[in-house]
Amino acid sequence: MAATLSRRSTLKLGAAAAGAAALGFPNIVRAARDRVVVRQDRDIQILDPAFRIGAAEGNVISACCQRLASFKTGSLHYAPDAAETIKQVSDTLIEFTLKPGQMFSDGYGEMTAEDIKFSFERFGIVQKDGKKSSYASDWGALKEVEITGKYSGKIHLKNAAPAIWRTAICDTSGNILSKKAGEALGEKITSQLVGSGPYRIAKWEPNRQLVLAANPDYKGPKPVFREVIVRPIQESKTAEIALRAREIDFTRFEDPVAGDTIAKEAGLKVVKMPGMRYLWIGLNVEKAPLDNLKVRQAIRLGVDVDEALTAAFGGKVERANAMLQSSLLGYWKDAPVRKRDVAGAKKLLAEAGLAGGFKTRLTVLNQAAYKTMAQVVQSNLAEIGVTVEIEALDGGSYWSVGKGDVGKNLDMSLQLFSAKMDPSFTSQWFVSEQVGVWNWQRWTNPEYDKLHVLAASTNDEAERGKAMIRMQQLMDDSAAFIWLTYDSAVFGAAAWVKPAILPNGTDWQFGLFGEA
């Protein structure tokens, strides 16, 4: 009865194994890869496009809903999505026709033009509880949506608004909800998302996970993964360990240096993109002695931007010299690249009557990278006689220090703003009416304001680009901004995951995630 292994049986065994490998094993592998686990840095709170908190919600909403037009994979270019046709008829009119037969989940029926009107116009409406969408400006140019048929309608704009395509129609604010669901669910619309996109919410366990399952009723191209599991992991280091332990398949790293460890690990990969978020030091032009142009110029000359970036990000981020990043319309490629000049800075201070130096304060978010940069700035400015006190605040306090009259007491602040795929979104925060809101520099310039309106209301790209460059020149002249970096978007992923990330780095297209 002793088992013998002849040459023939070895060959048979080998062939069987090869056959199994060829037929069965790949299916097993594929079965294990029918889902992707994605980390987001905080828990989902509200699943309502108009009242979302940020990208964490936006990514889930956009996976479950359709838009009239959507961005192509990882691109600023877009194509019709729920719309069969959509076109800009004039500066203030966009016409659309919906594809028939697009069904909302949970039995809320077919998508019609009524749903488009409901989804877009609600951004401008103050809710019963007094709440107004934080994203109302995305649809700020919207006058009304006129329904012309079951599937057709016209989007009337108050004025030409070129940004509306990339910041509203194709973006998270353009997600289409079911009107019937909105009326039936009332307040529950914030937690029960009814869409018609590639995924639907299969399970939502707050603080633990949100499971997206492929929507069988979705009429567009089927998503590659049957499930997308979104897990909230706040700590970047934990996310890195979770990726190495293969408990998650995709994450963004807040610290670009973290990618170095992942890059060395087999079965994992690092995806790097130029960032679009912009980081700068803002100087309050109303607060003495920063109200003196020469003082601001001296501070700008005294700061070694490259050194600050090396200290905080290991030199892994691109230096910024103006507001707009290179992929955006209006990028100012000839923006001056200032080198640190201690003697020049001292001379400017002396001209301002402050040869003996002065004391000031730099307010930063209480995060390691920002504090590191602040320390470099503190050390740099000490050499020109300026004593900097660093004030590191948690998010809740930090984001209120520039608001209202309290903002008048702010000296310098290190700020990080997110960007969208249109330059007008970025430039809007520095207009005069934003003083005490998001314009913490309290810098005002009538020409800038006029150019912002012009750029936001013309469809002529050349004219927009020119206006944007001029606006950045005005900012540069003010010396109220010391541009630091556009940050960088570094992601870690399992080697088999092909993520779909929009150029701003924060918007992820779960429906377009694929296998590498």
Partner 1 sequence: MRHAALRYFTSRLITTALVILGAMILLFALTLLVRGDPASVLLGPQATPEVIADFQRRMGLDRPVYERLGLFLWNMVQGDLGRDVVSGRPVLDRVIEVLPYTLTLTFVSIGFAVLLGIPLGCYAATHPGSRGDQFLAIASVSVVAIPNFVIAIYLLLIFSIWLNWLPVLGTGPSGDWGDAALRLILPSLSLALSWIGYIARLMRSSLLEVLSEPYIRTSRAYGLSETKIVYKYALRNASIPTLAILGLGVGRLLGGAIFAEIIFARPGIGKLIYDAIGTRNYPVVQGSVLAVVVLFVLVNLAVDMAYGWIDPRIRAQSARAAAPA
Contact residues for partner 1 (CB under 8 A)?
42-43, 45-46, 53, 126, 129-137, 187, 190-191, 205-209, 231-235, 237-238, 241-242, 244-245, 247, 393-397, 399-401, 403, 437-438
Under 8 Å between Cβ of 446 and 240: no
Q: Which is nearer to partner 1, 30 or 208 (CB)?
A: 208
Q: Which residues of 444-480 are buried (b: 16+ CB within 10 A; e: fewer)?
A: bbeebbebbebbbbbeeeeebbebbbbbbbebbebbb
Residue 410's contacts (CB-CB under 8 Å, 6 or more residues apart) are 284, 287, 363, 401, 402, 440
Query: Token pair for residue 88?
Result: 């800009």
Shortest separation between residue 197's beta carbon and partner 1, angstroms: 22
Shortest separation between residue 68's beta carbon and partner 1, angstroms: 23
Shortest separation between residue 244's beta carbon and partner 1, angstroms: 5
Size of the chain in residues: 516
Shortest separation between residue 298's beta carbon and partner 1, angstroms: 30
Q: Which is nearer to partner 1, 192 or 327 (CB)?
A: 192
Q: Which is nearer to partner 1, 47 or 86 (CB)?
A: 47
Shortest separation between residue 123's beta carbon and partner 1, angstroms: 9
If one counts every other C-beta atom within 10 angstroms of the C-beta of residue 20, the result is: 11
Shortest separation between residue 84's beta carbon and partner 1, angstroms: 33
Shortest separation between residue 260's beta carbon and partner 1, angstroms: 16
Question: In the 8-state DSSP scheme, what is residue 223?
Answer: P
Distance CA 201, CA 194 (A): 9
Q: Which is nearer to partner 1, 124 or 344 (CB)?
A: 124
Distance CA 52, CA 173 (A): 9
Q: Which is nearer to partner 1, 64 or 242 (CB)?
A: 242
Cα dist from 294 to 327, 355, 463, whole Å: 32, 12, 32
Q: Which is nearer to partner 1, 87 or 246 (CB)?
A: 246
H or E element: which one contains 242? helix 236-244
Q: Which is nearer to partner 1, 36 or 322 (CB)?
A: 36
Under 8 Å between Cβ of 348 and 294: yes
